[in-house]
Amino acid sequence: MRAAAPPEGASEATAAAAERRWAFIVAGIIALLLAMMVFTGLHWAAMPPSRVETIDVNTVHLRGEFVESNLGTALGPDGKVTVRLIAQQYSFSPQCIVVPAEMPVTFRGTATDAIHGFIVGKTNANTMLIPGFVATFTTRFSKTGEQLMPCHEYCGTGHEAMWARVQVLPPAEFLEKARDGERLTCVSR
C-alpha cells in the first residue's frame, strides 16, 4: 500500500502489468514442464503403454497365465523370454527374478489389490501394475549382475518395504538354466 493516492488510471495499469507478468511466469512454468516431459521421455526411453489388456482380478490366482506355477521367467520354444509376475500388498511374486543380458525380455505383470509398480535398477524397465490390467513391455538388459526392483507407486503402509531382486545372467548361463522349460526364479527354496 502506498501512502499517497495514486493518480487516475494508475491502479489499472499496475494490475495489467502484474497480470502480464504472471501470464509470462505461468507460460514459462508450463513450457518448463513440457520440456521436462520431452527430455525425460527421450532420455530415459520411457515406454508409454501400447495397448489395453484386461484380466479378471478375481481369478488371477486360479486360472490363466498368472497361476503360481507359471510365475517367473519362461523361455518359449521360439526362444522368447517372458517374465510373469504379480504384485500384492506388500510383495512381488516371484521375489527374485532371473533374466538374461543382451536378449529381449518381455515382462507381463498385474496386481491383485492396489496399484503397484516397479522399476529395475537404473534401467528403463519401469511400469505401473494395476488390478484388472496386464502391464507388458519388452526391454533388454545390457549389464549382468543383481538389480533392486522397488515398488514405486504408493500402495499402503508397507510400500517402502515392497521390493524384489532381479538377477541379470550372461545369456549362455541363462540358456543353460532355462533348458528344461521350468519357470525360473532365484527365490531361495
Record the cell numbers describing residue 137, joined without a space.
513391455
Of the candidates 29, 54, 169, the one whose C-alpha atom is nearest the C-alpha of residue 111 is 54
3-state class of 158 per DSSP?
coil
Q: How far lies 182's CA from each of 53, 72, 96, 119, 146, in Å?
A: 26, 9, 15, 25, 21
> Which of 159, 173, 175, 177 is in the footprint of ligand CUA by CB under 6 A?
159
Please report whether residue 162 would count as binding ligand CUA according to CB under 6 A. Answer: yes
Which of 67/119 has CB closer to ligand CUA?
119
In this chain, which of 22, 24, 39, 154 binds ligand CUA, going by CB under 6 A? 154
Region binding ligand CUA by CB under 6 A among candidate stretches 4-12, 65-73, 147-155, 167-175: 147-155
- Our measurement of the distance from residue 22's CA atom to the centroid of its chain's CA atoms, rounded to an integer in Å, reads 36
Closest to 165 (Cα-Cα) out of 118, 103, 114? 118
> Whats the size of the chain, residue-wise?
189
Rule CB under 6 A: say whether 155 interacts with ligand CUA: yes
Q: Which stretch binds ligand CUA (CB under 6 A): 76-84, 96-104, 153-161, 179-187?
A: 153-161
Nearer Cβ to ligand CUA (112/174) = 112
The binding track of 81-120 with respect to ligand CUA, each residue x by CB under 6 A or -, is ------x--x-------------------------x----
Residue among 101, 65, 25, 71 nearest 182 (CA): 71
Binding site for ligand CUA (CB under 6 A): 87, 90, 116, 151, 153-155, 159, 162
